[in-house]
Amino acid sequence: MRAFAPAAPGQSGLQDPPGGRPGRRRTASGPWWKADARSDPWRDPEAPAALGAPAVYEEDAQAGPVIVDARGRRKLRIRDLSVRVSVLALLAVLLVGAVGGGLGWYLTRTAAETPLLAPGTQLSKVDPGVARKPGSVADIAARVAPAVVSIEVRVGQAGATGSGVVVDGGKGYIVTNNHVVSGADGVSGAEIRAVFSDGSGSKARIVGRDPSSDVAVLKVEKPGLVTASLGTSHDVVVGDPVVAIGSPLGLAGTVTSGIVSALDRPVRLSGEGSDTNAVIDAVQTDAPINPGNSGGALVDATGAVIGINTAIASLGGNGTTGGSIGLGFAIPIDTVRQISQELISTGKAVHASLGVNTRSVTDGTRDGALVLNVEKQSAAAGAGIREQDVVIALEGKKVRSSEELAVAVDSHKPGDEVTVELVRGGHSQKLQVTLDRA
């Protein structure tokens, strides 16, 4: 087979076969010899070759819901879906919703209602076996609560509620606060009633009361009372756990707990409608105490009474209308025991007296009790104490306020000789004083 000759000078493209004779398929309508055949680069063996850009697909130009993007991925174009298919899908969703709703309505209409009452029903329960160890609050409350009573006082149309502690169940003696019962003493038609933990009650009579310590003793004619165990406040330390039991706000048998937050806290007591005028060396506690707790028990972890709840500190400044803010005060049981024994024995309590009126002062470096006046023929007058003297100690114990001076004097008995240290004219001196009977 003979090959085509190369193109003559000045010519390009494909050449005619040798001899100038066209091939058998050389027709005007043949695919090889179209009018532009001589200039078609695909038919020209000498046409230059080069790589071009990849094919570009335009989505808008592609027909049908399934298209191919520029990366060759097949995607479904929702807008090209058939209207019929869209309508069918919508109808299917509506049909499912209608069938579900209708089925639910039918079941609720045809289901029979069960009776409201079911006699003999028993709910499930568990028995965890809670162990209440000795010394727990629950254990203390169970043992002491029967010895704590509610005191109800009625004078005419007025009434008040307090608490009390049975100190001698055999003889029916109950200790409470003077300010709880003082308003009924000697008043015609007044009534004092003790209500016990079992709900029973009994009329109570005043054995004796002491405004100078805010302690009073009542007596009831009811045998077989549970007697509280009286401890000692001498061994109490700050941080000891305590439980308060009483009738705050008239709610009998209320139990609260806390700790001893301070000791030897001088607190002046005076109540509206009461002749109480006392300064106590209080046991301070954060156990919640409210009006009505007065006269109730403050108990240690052994169940022994270490104090008689008496007062609270209140933001309103009124222990009658204020509520607990975590500062309650109790008369130490050692003081209560001594005063109660005197009241039961004689109906009266005896206190020592220095015979001065004072107020608290400080010079910026040292505190004391400034003597405002000296009673005539008193122990202070006999020892040479003068007005404007500042008492700073008694029997070696510092005196930093008028309340501390009152507590220090009251810790002694009439006739005791004590050393009083005072400041006069800028100089300190000591005097020997024999205390009087108040």
Quick one: DSSP state of residue 5? P
Q: Are 164 and 218 in contact (CB under 8 A)?
A: yes
Residue 299 is inside which H or E element, if any? Answer: strand 297-299
Please tell me what DSSP assigns to residue 157: T
Task: State pLDDT tens for residues 122-167.
Answer: 888 877 767 778 779 999 999 999 999 999 999 988 888 999 999 9
Predicted confidence at residue 176, as pLDDT, reads: 97
Residue 218 confidence (pLDDT): 97
pLDDT value, residue 202:
94
Residue boundaries of the structural domains of the chain = 134-347, 352-437
Please compute the mean of the pLDDT values over residues 282-299 and round it to a whole number: 95
Q: Is the pLDDT of residue 2 over 50?
A: no
The answer, yes or no, to whether residue 15 has pLDDT greater than 70, is no
* Average predicted confidence (pLDDT) for the chain: 85
User: Which residue, chain included where needed, has tokens 């069938």?
Assistant: 99
DSSP-derived 3-state class of residue 44: coil
pLDDT at 382: 94
Q: Which of 334, 273, 285 is nearest to 310 (CA)?
A: 285
Per-residue pLDDT at 315: 75
Local confidence band at 12 (pLDDT 50, 70, 90 cut-offs): low
Residue of higher predicted confidence among 5 and 392: 392
Task: Measure the CA–CA gap between 382 and 7, rounded to whole angstroms.
Answer: 158
Q: Give residue 201's pLDDT band: very low, low, confident or very high (50, 70, 90).
A: very high
Query: Could you tell me how many helices (H) and strands (E) the chain has, helices first?
Result: 6, 22
Q: Check: CB of residue 76 under 8 Å from CB of residue 68.
A: no
- Distance (Å, whole) CA 431 – CA 357: 17
**CATH code of the domain occupying 352-437:** 2.30.42.10
CA dihedral 81, 85, 91, 95 (to 10 degrees): -120
Q: What pLDDT, on a 0 to 100 scale, did the predictor assign at position 182?
A: 92
Query: Looking at residues 205-209, what average pLDDT do you find?
Result: 96
Place of tokens 């016990």: 196
Exposure of 33 by Cβ count < 10 A (0-12 exposed, 13-18 middle, 19+ buried)?
middle
- Assess whether pLDDT exceeds 60 at residue 60: no
Between vectors from CA 409 to CA 408 and to CA 413, what angle results, nearest 5°? 120
User: Which of 12-26, 65-79, 115-129 is most confident?
Assistant: 115-129
- 207, pLDDT greater than 90: yes
Contact 190, 196 (CB under 8 A): no
Q: Which residues are designated catalytic?
A: 179, 214, 294
Q: What is the mean pLDDT of residues 381-390?
A: 95
The residue count for the chain: 438
**Whole-number pLDDT of residue 280:** 94
Residue 405 has pLDDT above 50, yes or no: yes
Distance CA 120, CA 194 (A): 43
pLDDT (mean) for 195-214: 95
Which residue has better confidence, 286 or 20?
286
pLDDT at 1: 46
- Per-residue pLDDT at 19 exceeds 70: no
Asked whether this chain's domains 134-347 and 352-437 adopt the same fold, the reply is no
pLDDT score at 51: 65
111 pLDDT higher than 80: no
Position 30 pLDDT exceeds 60: no
Q: Does domain 134-347 have CATH number 2.40.10.120?
A: yes
Residue pointed to by tokens 């162990």: 131
Per-residue pLDDT, 65: 63
Asked if residue 260 lies in contact with residue 285, where contact means CB atoms within 8 angstroms, the answer is yes
Q: Which two tokens stand for residue 218?
A: 């009542």
pLDDT at 124: 84
- Least confident range from 163-167, 214-218, 313-317, 331-335: namely 313-317
Q: Over 60: is that where the pLDDT of 23 sits?
A: no
Q: What is the 3-state secondary structure (H, E, C) of 213-232?
A: CCEEEEEECCCCCCCCCECC
Res 126: pLDDT: 77
Provide the residue type at 12 as one letter: S
Instruction: Tell me the whole-structure pTM to 2 decimals.
Output: 0.71
Mean pLDDT confidence for 359-382: 94
Q: What is the pLDDT of residues 318-342, one digit of tens each?
A: 555 567 788 999 999 999 999 999 9
Q: Name the token pair of 402.
A: 């008028």
CA-based diameter of the chain, in Å? Answer: 170
Among the listed ranges 76-85, 189-198, 288-297, which one has the minimum average pLDDT value?
A: 76-85
Long-range Cβ pairs for the range 197-200 (8 Å, 24+): 197/145, 197/146, 197/148, 197/149, 197/252, 197/253, 198/146
Mean pLDDT lowest among 60-69, 229-238, 308-317, 353-362: 60-69
